[in-house]
Structure 1
Amino acid sequence: MGTAVLILGLLPVTAEAHRDGCHRWHSCPSDTGSYVCGDLGYDTYCGGSGGGGLSESLDLTAPEQPRIARPHAVSGGRVRLTVTAEKGSRIEVAETDGFGIAEDTVATATATGGPQTITFKAGDGSHTYAVTATDSADNVSDAADDITVDVDAEAPEIAGFSTTDPDPTSATAAVSFDSEAGAAYALTVSGRKERLTGTIDSGGSVSDAALVLPDGSYTLRLTVTDAAGNARHAERKLRVALGELAPRLTAEQASGADHVRFTVTAPPQSRGSLTLGDTVRRVFTTDSHGLAEVSAELPDGRYPAPVVEVTDRYGRQGRTSGRKLVVDTVAPVLTVRPDSNRAAHGDLSLAVTAEARTRITVAYDADVQDHFTASGQATTVSRAFSPGTYGVTVTATDPYGNVTTKRLSVTVDDRRTAGDWLVLLVQLFLLLGLIVAVLYILRRTRPAREARRTRRAVDQYERDLAGWERERARLVELAEFAAELGQEGSGTGGWLAAWGRRRRDESVWWVTDADMVQPATNGQEIAVRDSGTLVVTDQRLVFMGRTRREWLFAKLEHIEHVGHDTTLMRVSNRANVSGVRYRRETERTRLAVDSAVADAPRGVTPALGTGRGLLLSRLRQGVKAHDRLRPAAPEPSSPVGRHEPAGTGV
């Protein structure tokens, strides 16, 4: 019996091969014996291997985690990743959902063992991808760290593309348009070499582009290219029919100098000449901005109007003339005579004579000045001063800027006559009588004034009290709202299917309209990426719009409120900071976010897990502090006794 069993054990039985004792230690990949048995390479007990020595082992080792470099988006919504993975393995790029779970495979490639670029297309918005490598034995590597790429697949819009008729002075046709801020633009003219390039300003508009063209009809082609390389084109027609130019001429003359500087405005690179009677002729060429400066030194005298003639680089001509010129470098004649008789009686009086149209300034030591325009005759200037000696500076400035200055010292005395003292005494009595009359009138009208003041105080108190009550009602309502968050029946309803998968034991605290935002590249502005609905729960913030974004409190690394309606967050599963801007009920939404974060388990962010006690206490303290600011009612006015008329009895 034992012999029979032994013989049966030596016969090759295919169906029972994997029940052999060696397979508890090894793994035979085939019942035929054509493969090596076991992970360790031993084939002693495997069919067809007897004594054949060591064979190749099964490959059970997964490839190393792929390395990712330079993930970025380019034009047309294309995404490029530089991936390094095990040679011969299959690289798979899959987009992940909001929970970090890989969903759709968007690209595959065979690894070369070195850096290689994988390109695929994605829709507009933010996308997160996982990259794995799978070898020929179907061993799958660990996924590379999540890669988040913001894709711009849309070309910038062009609006308001327009041109103006060429200006006859500079021959320039202004071009303006609106498009995406920060995008580059190029403006070309069909059949010509003219080309304007630049960057659209932060306001999203270009209004300073200008073209100088010969007479004719043209097609202007505008190309706007955003940072991702997406380009938009537009065309406009332009007709130039100037015929005759209209250059502009201005003259600038330094005060009291014989140097005159002329400025000519004409088309860029125009040739021209400036003539001034028979004495001056200058030739010039305007610069790239259409400006030219011509200087001339002229002796004192009167000159005819200067004449400018120009010819632009396309042969168009124009002519203009300026104003007549007067060159005067001679200082004006100034005469100042003090009146000693009036100075003896307290008045500093001067007789000032200068040529007509001269501007006169009289400055005294006491920081007092007088100004007038001379008529060519003597003008008297007087000031009353206390006895003493005063320095006086008189300055004469003619219409051409020439200046003459004279300084003198004047002594003022106070020798009053008997008549002067009598006039002064009468003035004092009149002043005293006026004061008595004013006091009498004020005393008679005091009750009426006090009544008016009381009415105004009561009206103001009622307005202040109404405003105080409205503010207190608002503060109390916010405190009650924060206290009721998360209680049974305080939410906004059940979980909607459009919100995605609901987490275990998750409850909705607040729902509102919001925008998904991200900091702009300059770090100083907030860019709106999408509009939709914000759901605040006890476990996360969820945004639903064209795209879906969530911020799990368990992965929250930083939270920051910007202004009164924006919250920015950074979570560990995303590289970029993002957040939401509330579009209504901003105070309640902020309270809902702060309360949910405070009630969440503790984490990296200090705000997590602090509990709502501090928040509710602060709201209650705000109500108490407001109560202490309650307006006080005005005190009633005290009664005023009536004065009995003179001569009446008691």
Structure 2
Amino acid sequence: MLRRSGRGLSRAGITVGTAVLLLGVLPVPAQAHRDGCHRWHSCPSDTGSYVCGDLGYDTYCGGTVDSDPSESLDLTAPRRPKVARPHVGRGGRVGLTVTAERGARIEVAETDEYDVDSGVVAKATATGGAQTIGFKADSGSHTYSVTATDSAGNTSDAADDITVDVDADAPEISDFSVADADATTATAHVAFASEAGAAYELTVSGREKRFTGVVDDDGKVPDAALVLPDGGYTVRLAVTDDAGNVGRAERKLKVDMGELAPTVAADRERGSGRMRFTVTAPPHSKGTLRIAGTADRAFTADADGRAEVGARLPDGRYPAPVVEVTDPYGRSGRTSGRKLVVDTAAPALKVVSDAGRAAHGDLTLAVTAEAHSEVVVAYGSKTRDSFTSAGHRATVTRALSPGTYRVTVTATDAYGNAAVRRLSITVDDRRTAGEWLLLLLEVLLVTALIAVVWYVRRRTRQAREARRTARALERFERELDTWRRRRERLVELAEFAAELGDAEQDGGGWLADWGKRKRGESVWWVTDADLVQPGTVGTGACVKDSGTLVVTGQRVLLVGRKRREWLFSKLVQIEHSGGDVTWMRVANRTTMSGVRYRRESEKTLVAIESAVAEAPAGAARELGAGRGPILARLRQAIREHDRHRPSPPAQPASEDRATVPVTTG
């Protein structure tokens, strides 16, 4: 650089300037390769025909202007954002509490099941502290990644994936009906079906009272009751699910009761004159019950529209009771019940025992009771006879062993009144000559019958044993055939497990539909399967997709309408259910999912177990366990099966019996 003094340019300065000018005009060999700039700087050569350098920095090249040393490049990415307290609100509102470097641009992106970003759903500028970022999502399970980018364009590592289940749909309402008001209770019944466990609220136009409740587990509310004055109304229904989404519906209702129609039923306590009348009327209505010749009884119906009125009446006949009611809205009505009969007198009962019959082993009673009464004869605590009296004498006889018996005879009339008689009767076993003769004939007949049976059985025993042996042999051969087939299947399964992974099961090919093949990945087993997810309570597995199941040494892959994989390196939990379903959960998913195999269930289960056991150790305890326990289990199953081999039937012991050949296989 030339320096200027008060007296003009110095001679030395003029000389240096002239030299620099000549160097700029005369062609000389390029020096860029010798001054060290070509590795770190991009600058033109001395002749202008060559550009040196690899990295594009020309700070110190000839003919450039040095930058300010105080300025430096920012190549440091922000720290990974912290995400806490994800929450989901109604309408699909999602909120994430994020802490990131102050001034950085926060981006929330949704990732698909293969951890590939499918688009940014929310952005915000970081405050340096915890801040809530909100956005909306559709119903279903969503996984989000969060990154921070500073002003220099440096992007942080993504925060741990956040998975949330979103319910953005309002509950559906079906079968919503409002029936006409009932003339007896003045109640209009409301019924509807919606999401189980959701809270509902019923409101009626012009009325302050609200009716609330929870939808039953079967998704139905069969009977919500409305009691209203006469007039026209709009009944509005709001159903709110756990996420706060609200479904609404409304129906029109016209109430025109005219007169009420209450009901009354009477019931008398057995053996007394105490009466209990049950009245059904509109809730909280007031009324009176009138029985001719007695004082009127006032009552008030409860919230369910029921009232009980008591009265004590002497024996006699009474006209039907009359009930008059007026509900809280001024509507009135009346009704009458049935005529009443009050009877507290015990029925007539007479019991006489026959001593002569008792001396020969028969306990005989002559019972005379009031017509239509129920008669019970008890011989101690366990034995008894019963009948309905026709109003005249009836004979009851029972043959008993010798001894003394305490007999109780009870007669109960239609009004619950009972009469009881107790007797002590001795029974003997003396027999008449005719009875002894009859007994002798019975003994002879039984003896002859036994002789005939013995003779017939002896003649037919040989044929029966031959048939029995033949049937046993047929059964043995069927069981042996079934046993053999099962053993062959067990041996085949053990050999299959031992050979897994030695060669690819599909012939070595990898289909293009299966997606990208991972480095060193080998196919162990291919079959047909369904993608399943846990259903609601009591419904088991829910099928979401169907396709081809591929088991490899690194993952379980299902190729259907979409591809779904469970990498062993991310496997956290694995469970087998029912012999044809395997449930798996990986680290980047909060919910379980799995596969249901439709063919070769035993082989598929062994293939998945073996692939997981041979994979490197990880979070799931089955990883890295080795195939030894699986092979030992299969060999033990063969040994256990061998211990239950069917045995051939035994041959008849006697030589004169039919000989049936037995094959043991």
**Where on the TM-score scale, by shorter chain, does this alignment land: which range?**
0.7 to 0.9
Local SS of the residue matching 1:155: coil
- Is residue 395 of structure 1 aligned with residue 410 of structure 2? yes
Change (3 A) 1:269 1:333: same
Change (3 A) 1:547 1:106: farther
- Using the TM superposition, name which of 586-595 and 290-299 deviates more: 586-595
Local SS of the residue matching 1:267: coil
Change (3 A) 1:390 1:99: same
CA contact (8 A) 1:540 1:553 kept: yes
Distance 1:183 1:392 in 2: 63
- How far is 1:107 from its partner? 1.5
Structure 1 regions of 5+ residues with no counterpart?
24-28, 33-45, 50-54, 643-650
- Please show how residues 459-538 of structure 1 align to structure 2 within 5 Å: 482=497, 485-486=500-501, 488=503, 490-491=505-506, 500-508=515-523, 509-518=525-534, 528=542, 530-533=544-547, 535-538=550-553
Local SS of the residue matching 1:597: helix
Change (3 A) 1:621 1:82: same
CA contact (8 A) 2:581 2:597 kept: no
- How far is 1:80 from its partner? 0.8
Local SS of the residue matching 1:609: coil
1:206 alignment counterpart: 221
- How far is 1:434 from its partner? 3.1
- Please show how residues 314-393 of structure 1 align to structure 2 within 5 Å: 314=329, 316-365=331-380, 367-393=382-408
CA contact (8 A) 1:492 1:511 kept: no
- How far is 1:597 from its partner? 1.5
Change (3 A) 1:485 1:156: farther
> CA offsets per residue over residues 160-194 of structure 1, 9 Å max, x none?
33454544433444443333333333344455556
- Is residue 584 of structure 1 aligned with residue 595 of structure 2? no
Distance 1:196 1:470 in 2: 66
CA contact (8 A) 2:597 2:604 kept: no
Equivalent residue for 1:178, pick from 159, 175, 193: 193
Distance 2:489 2:256 in 1: 67
1:226 alignment counterpart: 241
Q: Which protein has the larger Cα radius of gyration, Structure 1 or Structure 2?
A: 2
Local SS of the residue matching 1:430: helix
Change (3 A) 1:489 1:83: closer
- How far is 1:470 from its partner? 6.5
Local SS of the residue matching 2:296: strand
Distance 1:400 1:338 in 2: 28
> CA offsets per residue over residues 363-414 of structure 1, 9 Å max, x none?
2237322222333434333333333222333333332223344433322223
> CA offsets per residue over residues 217-262 of structure 1, 9 Å max, x none?
6554443333223333344455556545443333333222332222
Distance 2:257 2:499 in 1: 75
- Give 2:582's aligned amino acid: T
1:648 alignment counterpart: none
CA contact (8 A) 2:504 2:522 kept: no
Local SS of the residue matching 1:596: helix
Distance 1:640 1:460 in 2: 24
Local SS of the residue matching 1:491: coil
What percentage of aligned pairs have identical amino acids? 59
Distance 1:188 1:281 in 2: 39
- Give 1:513's aligned amino acid: A
1:647 alignment counterpart: none
2:454 alignment counterpart: 439
TM-score by length of 1: 0.78
Change (3 A) 1:353 1:496: same
Equivalent residue for 1:131, pick from 140, 146, 149: 146
- How far is 1:312 from its partner? 4.0
Local SS of the residue matching 1:593: helix
CA contact (8 A) 1:163 1:174 kept: yes
CA contact (8 A) 1:168 1:244 kept: yes
Equivalent residue for 1:291, pick from 276, 283, 306: 306
Distance 2:503 2:567 in 1: 22
Change (3 A) 1:589 1:47: closer
Change (3 A) 1:490 1:141: closer
Distance 1:404 1:172 in 2: 47
Q: Number of residues paired by the alignment?
A: 605
Change (3 A) 1:511 1:184: farther
Distance 1:635 1:297 in 2: 81
CA contact (8 A) 1:510 1:592 kept: no
- How far is 1:471 from its partner? 5.3
Distance 1:480 1:262 in 2: 81
Local SS of the residue matching 1:429: helix
1:52 alignment counterpart: none
- Give 1:303's aligned amino acid: Y
- How far is 1:132 from its partner? 3.0
Distance 1:180 1:545 in 2: 31
Distance 2:583 2:555 in 1: 14
Distance 1:601 1:396 in 2: 85
- Using the TM superposition, name which of 76-85 and 577-586 deviates more: 577-586
Change (3 A) 1:314 1:507: farther
Change (3 A) 1:578 1:438: same
CA contact (8 A) 1:530 1:547 kept: no
Equivalent residue for 1:105, pick from 103, 108, 120: 120
- How far is 1:119 from its partner? 0.7
Change (3 A) 1:305 1:144: same
Equivalent residue for 2:110, pick from 95, 100, 123: 95
1:261 alignment counterpart: 276
Local SS of the residue matching 1:570: strand
- Is residue 567 of structure 1 aligned with residue 575 of structure 2? no
RMSD across aligned positions (CA):
4.2
CA contact (8 A) 1:177 1:205 kept: yes
